[in-house]
Structure 1
């Protein structure tokens, strides 16, 4: 009840609160192919921004919709220190969070975002209304979103975007699988002329106060160079080409390691870890085009490619006096001083589509085909395979993950002049998904061939330290097919009453069929006041990655490395431990809200209730334990014999949860003759997740192992902030402008095995400032500071960080890097 009282107070206070949020103030209508694209930085707020997400009726605005939709302009996304789309969205949309995990293998490079505190894979991402493809990566680390395979938002460069629409409502009946929490629709820039180029440069100027000591840094720079150009051809044809290059140095917020034999004078040790944002070098290019073919028929399409090279770190391997076995292994490998393994991920991503749309017998017809592919290659650098002794190599090729997706879709709609207007839409979609694991070289995962190496340690764990490669036993190639059909009817019954009804049927080649439905309504009591609400069912199909991913990797558990195998739920090992074929998740969503608007002010408040059944989660690491009987331990050892693993885990259905919350967004635009224009907004989200059921084991072991323990429940319930409020003021006068934004984050829990091991981020305020000179054409300059007051989450205590490798909780919703100073210079034409 406290959370809801907080939310109601938040909603009421917006009526008098003079702060702003440029994300909602700079709503820009989608550009058409028949007109040049305006400079988004100079676009005014119309108050009647047209949406295409959550409705298939033409011409509906966000304030006229039955579901809550945020419209975030490219200007809002780009007026920040970061050019990372996920981080930029999190800064300006209170219902979206983007933690910055570290030391969790590939998730350091492919970082997922969450909506309304739910799993990253429970939000559907569209590109120009077409389903986007997920990343090949499966998040099996201990971060937010553990067990998910989600879309990588950062594969779309911000310079390629015109705006983003965020539907905060269940929408599986409209768009299919994954839309349990909502939908993020990325709308690409469309321009026949104009262009621009921008250089962003920034660095950290921060004091790092960890549990064991303090230090400062003035560096760790990031450089982004981006540009776009609109090209016109024919009567209304357009080709918009966008490109971006990013070079970002790694950040390090590790604590001092007291175990280090060599210490820095005046400190309790030295920094041996590399804990923070990874080093990234990437380039992206996007082309978006469209033209009239003949009459009412138009051809459109886009093609994007990104190459991302990311380097993060595992835990350091040190010659500890308390661990003579580790010392012996290091000495035998010729690395007596220890080493820090680096994990190198190479992500190559393709995003493409082509379509044709026109009119047939008064029906609008849109036929499109899309293809997306993500390949992530892994290497372990500066490492060692102890099994090879002194002959070990230092760099290893670990193999790759590949995911691809083909889609063919047909959408048909027509508006009938009955009642006050009835829009009928229906469509078909066929989809094929594929997932593949390619094995690495022998030294990355295994032992040397017998007799080929002298002086090696046959009892040493095989594979590259830090990140072991995929073996031929892990290599798989699987695919599935899906077909769906939908019907969507939206009727303006009277000038005050809007009703909507949607239904969708899906059939998957691996688990069968499912159906979803949605009912929505809105009643406008007057021009300034309306009530709206929706009720829907939803689902999420188990990802191919969740069904088939398999590997043996080092997992740090309670500070100790454990060789852990991740197995398909139907594999012989998982089946003995309680694994079953995965089934789709199901949800029931309810939403009710209000819209208030008068003059330049508008306020939306929406409450929601989401019940998820049969949710999929990654099980505990099942291994031997002193709390288990000797007979059970013997069975586990026998089961894992020869696998290279001492623990096993797999995916399982059976989690049930209830999520309740309130979103409130208030915006006021105040134009003045002498002082310029002020865009004032406050937006907040209060969210409460409650796990009501966890899976029970069907294992043949007696007693059956625990599949879902306290720390997994705690991560779902408290891994994202229960309260987040953002207020900002955006001021502009001719070509000058300024932005001030303050964001409040509630406490987040990074769970431990027991409550004593929990790490809390604390409650914090983050302040961002930017000054700018931005002509519609010509030079553009921006100077800003993100996290002006150098705020960090609460430092990880010594008790919960005995090694000193981790400095701050990586569940922190605003990261843990400190103050960032940046400059932006550009030219538009």
Structure 2
């Protein structure tokens, strides 16, 4: 297998003929039906000019090849990107409900929903799941990056620049485009691996196959991946809910702190067909199914949440989730007179996330008084908790071409977009959410336990661990939007490129917005260039943020409290004076340089600043201590705490990205060296109160501010070396994750220090078609700092490393073997 040296941030391509697919770099061949000639279609993310390469762009762009993704040893696309692009973060979560399966993916330290994800240049639909636990991206619903199998990916392009004026809402931090394979032939790959602790077993099989026909091509991918759970909980010397010690009084492990179980199946395709001349019909998409298993907090003996006739030694509630994802894009593109090009497409996407509880109980169901006397004395131990559904349909029509201005070509692109976003919350089984069989709060359901005053304790509604969605949370709503843009590029002189874009978008709920962008690039000579951009952007509130609501058990002030997430259009939100959501707006500026040296050494340096106003966040869980009127409303609605989505925060993010590459020779082999560094700092400049009843400091307190400012690494770096000689290939990468801080659950500010992780692998080509690779990620078994006594009582109960924010997880070392056969 021949491996070309990879240069992060640069793409060199030979263009037989260039053809625009709206706004993105596409590399796939079609066939001219009349001439039989191949039409190779390559343009670059961030520019709509035919054939513009990344080295000619006025914005920083990373190009990550399929080989580089595979060489990370990661079997998940999100993890592979985190190990390849320092500006991309993919935090690990645990005991965080659905976020354990769909992890938050971020760019340049912003939220998961402030980056736009495309597939083959078309907008990808977001996930249905909202991150409502104390994790990175709390309050957002981003993109399920792992719904796309690595086996299907040809390359990933990351535009590190504000691009809402070019691509629309969400592109505040930048744009990630995932290009699917389209080539002839295929591959069969298999990987097995596990952690040094002998858990977290991964078994992956992927098949990719491509075929070119007289008038087109078809490429398909099938992939299966099974990932076992990991557990890094320590024996519980203290208890959080009831008695956690063994019957003999010894500390035992009571929690599951680590990766969730995950079984994944994928089927994807990419296809094109010539309709005659240069007109092409194209389609791509896929389905994925993911079954996950995670856990909540242990319920111990001698506590009102534990029914000892069912669980005499306590129980650990299980959450079984199912994420189903479908997408299909169909389009036609071709030529117009005077060398103009057109493209029309429809993209449909749907993400469903279902919740199921097991190894649990509804205490109100069990202790409910029986009409014949006594109590019912029974409860199901498993239930369907409900389902979240997000659907999106997008229509695009784009044209682009050139006009002659002052004897120079003005490159123009124009387009319109129509989009409908829909959101559903489907009700769970009654036992998952109800207070007794009739859900009648006037019925007094008491447990056998008493409080400190000797009064009987009432039973809690719903199944434990993850109470289901009830009738009050059911929603089926949608929102329409439309947009129009113009994009232009012009060489003022042969060395000076000027580019600009304007985009108007209107949402039938969130209102309208005009975004603009101006970019420039000046080539001082063939080896040294300067570039910069200024832009405005926006992000409309997601329908998930507008309509999501739930009542769940959360940790507030160190105790478990029934916490309601209230949709802003709910009458309860209006009682608290909460305003409806509005769009976020942003202003971005970046400056950078590109320098090439005669020995092949290349370096790019880009600095940026992003100001975001009215940023949408999920508030702190608010309790009765907010004020007397607030407490009365809580009591009237039988709630212990509430939280809301609000436009409460203004932030400023500054950063610096440095990327360098150097190809050379070593020991009669080819050595490619790459170094990349991302420095980022976010400051919360203002917290806005959105209610006359609630102070800004209560809505978004120090805990939430700290997570925004310090929850993601402020420094992230990668140094990698890829050496190839004949049949041998060696890859070594050193990844640095800077310090992170948090104080959720304990209220005590804690810093987890920065760490270097080392990945290494060796590959050997047994034949031209068969390659075997063995390797280890986190070779030296590095873990985050331990929580220690600062985390009490959680550290005493088994949280050795905490769980709020960990960029590289708590699994330790992982080793693997991979076989790849190409045909």
- In the alignment, structure 1 residue 411 sits paired with structure 2 residue 398: yes
Secondary structure of 2:142's counterpart equals coil
- In the alignment, structure 1 residue 172 sits paired with structure 2 residue 168: no
Deviations 1:337-364 (A, max 9, x none): 1111111110110011011100111310
2:205 maps to: 225
Q: 1:456 to 1:395 in 2, by over 3 A?
A: farther
1:819 maps to: 813
Deviations 1:387-415 (A, max 9, x none): 12241111111110000000110110003
Q: 1:387 to 1:411 in 2, by over 3 A?
A: same
Match of 1:258 among 227, 231, 237: 237
Deviation at 1:557, TM superposition (A): 2.1
Contact 1:761-1:809 at 8 Å conserved across structures? no
> Take 1:574 and 1:732, find their aligned partners in 2: how far apart are those partners?
61
Match of 1:443 among 413, 422, 431: 431
Deviation at 1:53, TM superposition (A): 0.7
Q: 1:268 to 1:451 in 2, by over 3 A?
A: closer
1:655 maps to: 649
- In the alignment, structure 1 residue 636 sits paired with structure 2 residue 633: yes
Contact 2:97-2:133 at 8 Å conserved across structures? yes
Match of 2:346 among 355, 362, 369: 369
Contact 2:486-2:503 at 8 Å conserved across structures? yes
1:214 maps to: none
Contact 1:569-1:650 at 8 Å conserved across structures? yes
Deviation at 1:60, TM superposition (A): 1.6
- In the alignment, structure 1 residue 428 sits paired with structure 2 residue 416: yes
Deviation at 1:579, TM superposition (A): 0.8
- In the alignment, structure 1 residue 291 sits paired with structure 2 residue 308: no
Deviation at 1:751, TM superposition (A): 2.5
> Take 1:175 and 1:618, find their aligned partners in 2: how far apart are those partners?
26
Deviations 1:50-72 (A, max 9, x none): 65210001112212110000000
Match of 1:32 among 28, 31, 34: 28
- In the alignment, structure 1 residue 541 sits paired with structure 2 residue 567: no
Deviations 1:145-175 (A, max 9, x none): 0000101100110111110000000000000
Q: 1:87 to 1:28 in 2, by over 3 A?
A: farther
Contact 2:648-2:690 at 8 Å conserved across structures? no
Deviation at 1:750, TM superposition (A): 2.1
Deviation at 1:551, TM superposition (A): 0.9
1:609 maps to: 609
- In the alignment, structure 1 residue 571 sits paired with structure 2 residue 570: yes
- In the alignment, structure 1 residue 798 sits paired with structure 2 residue 789: yes
Q: 1:103 to 1:421 in 2, by over 3 A?
A: same
- In the alignment, structure 1 residue 384 sits paired with structure 2 residue 397: no
> Take 2:658 and 2:809, find their aligned partners in 1: how far apart are those partners?
24
TM-score if structure 2 supplies the norm length?
0.90
Deviation at 1:253, TM superposition (A): 1.1
Name which of structure 1's ranges 438-447 and 388-397 shifts more when overlaid on structure 2: 388-397
1:758 maps to: 749
1:351 maps to: 327
Name which of structure 1's ranges 614-623 and 127-136 shifts more when overlaid on structure 2: 614-623
> Take 1:158 and 1:420, find their aligned partners in 2: how far apart are those partners?
42
1:693 maps to: 686
Deviations 1:126-145 (A, max 9, x none): 01110000000011110000
Q: 1:380 to 1:812 in 2, by over 3 A?
A: same
- In the alignment, structure 1 residue 146 sits paired with structure 2 residue 138: yes
Deviation at 1:80, TM superposition (A): 2.2
2:761 maps to: 770
Name which of structure 1's ranges 437-446 and 674-683 shifts more when overlaid on structure 2: 674-683
Structure 1 residue runs of 5 or longer lacking an equivalent are: 1-19, 36-48, 206-216
Contact 1:25-1:667 at 8 Å conserved across structures? no
2:723 maps to: 731
1:61 maps to: 53
Secondary structure of 1:534's counterpart equals strand
After superposition, residues 771-790 of structure 1 pair within 5 angstroms as 771-774=762-765, 777-790=768-781
1:158 maps to: 150
Secondary structure of 2:699's counterpart equals coil
Contact 2:30-2:274 at 8 Å conserved across structures? no
Name which of structure 1's ranges 310-319 and 704-713 shifts more when overlaid on structure 2: 704-713
Secondary structure of 2:791's counterpart equals coil
1:189 maps to: 181
Deviation at 1:816, TM superposition (A): 1.1
> Take 1:257 and 1:740, find their aligned partners in 2: how far apart are those partners?
38
Contact 1:388-1:456 at 8 Å conserved across structures? no
1:525 maps to: 524
Q: 1:633 to 1:167 in 2, by over 3 A?
A: closer
TM-score if structure 1 supplies the norm length?
0.89
> Take 1:347 and 1:279, find their aligned partners in 2: how far apart are those partners?
13
1:125 maps to: 117
Deviation at 1:753, TM superposition (A): 6.4
Deviations 1:596-651 (A, max 9, x none): 013322110000010000111111211123xx55x34641333423xxx3111111
2:97 maps to: 105
Contact 1:26-1:76 at 8 Å conserved across structures? no
Q: 1:496 to 1:633 in 2, by over 3 A?
A: closer
Secondary structure of 1:244's counterpart equals strand
Deviation at 1:550, TM superposition (A): 1.0
> Take 1:506 and 1:21, find their aligned partners in 2: how far apart are those partners?
38
Deviation at 1:806, TM superposition (A): 2.1
> Take 2:444 and 2:563, find their aligned partners in 1: how far apart are those partners?
28
Contact 1:415-1:424 at 8 Å conserved across structures? yes
Contact 2:521-2:529 at 8 Å conserved across structures? yes
Deviation at 1:296, TM superposition (A): 1.3
The structure, 1 or 2, with the larger RCO (C-alpha pairs under 8 Å, 6+ apart) is: 1
2:590 maps to: 591
> Take 2:247 and 2:679, find their aligned partners in 1: how far apart are those partners?
46
> Take 2:140 and 2:444, find their aligned partners in 1: how far apart are those partners?
43
Contact 1:166-1:184 at 8 Å conserved across structures? yes
Deviation at 1:420, TM superposition (A): 4.6
After superposition, residues 410-559 of structure 1 pair within 5 angstroms as 410-418=397-405, 419-449=407-437, 457=447, 459-559=458-558
2:318 maps to: 342
Secondary structure of 1:220's counterpart equals coil
1:562 maps to: 561
> Take 1:22 and 1:114, find their aligned partners in 2: how far apart are those partners?
23
Q: 1:731 to 1:707 in 2, by over 3 A?
A: same
> Take 1:789 and 1:431, find their aligned partners in 2: how far apart are those partners?
48
> Take 1:826 and 1:304, find their aligned partners in 2: how far apart are those partners?
23
Deviation at 1:27, TM superposition (A): 7.2
Q: 1:617 to 1:263 in 2, by over 3 A?
A: closer
Contact 1:24-1:73 at 8 Å conserved across structures? no
> Take 1:809 and 1:304, find their aligned partners in 2: how far apart are those partners?
37
2:68 maps to: 76
Contact 1:771-1:782 at 8 Å conserved across structures? yes
Structure 2 residue runs of 5 or longer lacking an equivalent are: 15-25, 32-40, 367-376, 448-456
Deviations 1:224-274 (A, max 9, x none): 1101001222x2411000111011100001122113768689997211100
Q: 1:369 to 1:633 in 2, by over 3 A?
A: closer
What's the Cα RMSD here?
2.4
Name which of structure 1's ranges 351-360 and 50-59 shifts more when overlaid on structure 2: 50-59
> Take 1:366 and 1:572, find their aligned partners in 2: how far apart are those partners?
45
> Take 1:351 and 1:340, find their aligned partners in 2: how far apart are those partners?
36
Deviation at 1:334, TM superposition (A): 2.2
Secondary structure of 2:458's counterpart equals coil
> Take 2:342 and 2:558, find their aligned partners in 1: how far apart are those partners?
58
Deviation at 1:461, TM superposition (A): 0.7
